Structure 1
């Protein structure tokens, strides 16, 4: 593997994270009080998680990210609509989310769904006046932003069609 191949993935991840952060911040800033830095952070995390060594792997990771985020956002929105944030409640919501992923036969989505639960619930706890539904919807939208940036970067980036160090 040459030097350019070794640097491609770090560069792709860094640029995707930057672009996703800026877009997520901008988008979330359209909703006053909904913490645009969290929007940028969550978008950047999504871009980092989704970016893989090849376009095919990135696309596969994208579907995992979106479905997991949707399940986690939904579970946490329901919880926060019914009850206030509490760490024990968060653990119960994580359990329910991962169990739901297993029940609908997508157990590999459970971890990302659980992470989304934590982000939605902790963000909601920072300002309990935030609407649980809008908070969850924003976190899902930010996941879409970061995922979209990662997929776009993989599609445009030269050399991401082949696996680093070999072909796919």
Structure 2
């Protein structure tokens, strides 16, 4: 077995780590003003979004960014609508995920269903932990955190490819 680490492996690890760190910090500080109790969740959600969106090439990263933003929008809207009517419950979260997946399929974007469902789960769990938080603020913050992570990943791939040979010359 060869346990050597190539320079490209270290560079990819550095790219992912920096993307997650920047997304976390921006998400944390953005969330901390309107929702201090969930600032760490906001940072985590931004970091997760950055990690999920960051791909090997500019084209793949931008394609994943579209999935992330649209999925987050759908999941946020479904969650907010539910939470305006009813308080958090695990059954409600399951129902919202079901509705979100069906909705994504109905509007012919089934590839968005997984990321939309993740957003539902985050919005709903935060609602359970912070029932005083307005559903609109909660869903809006979770969408904004997804957008922060997505933008961080897009920025990272743009500057990373400028300073190095692109991994995908067609992107």
**TM-score interval for Structure 1 and Structure 2 normalised by the shorter chain:** over 0.9
Hey, what's the Cα distance between the residues in 1 that align with 2:155 and 2:9?
20
Secondary structure, aligned partner of 1:31: coil
List structure 1 runs of 4+ shifted beyond 4 angstroms: none
Q: 1:119 aligns with which of 119, 122, 126?
A: 122
Structure 2 unaligned residues grouped into runs of 5+: none
Q: 1:102 aligns with which of 97, 102, 105?
A: 105
Instruction: Using the TM superposition, give the Cα deviation of residue 8 of structure 1 relative to its aligned residue in structure 2, in angstroms.
Output: 2.4
Structure 1 unaligned residues grouped into runs of 5+: none
Q: 2:7 aligns with which of 4, 9, 13?
A: 4
Structure 2 length as normaliser, TM-score? 0.91
Instruction: Using the TM superposition, give the Cα deviation of residue 10 of structure 1 relative to its aligned residue in structure 2, in angstroms.
Output: 1.6
Residue matched to 1:159: 164
Residue matched to 1:63: 66
User: 1:119–1:54: structure 2 CA closer, same or farther, 3 Å change rule?
Assistant: same
State the aligned residue count: 164
Query: 1:54–1:160: 8 Å Cα contact kept in structure 2?
Result: no
Query: 1:26–1:36: 8 Å Cα contact kept in structure 2?
Result: yes
Secondary structure, aligned partner of 1:85: coil
Residue matched to 2:86: 83
Q: Does 1:74 align with 2:65?
A: no
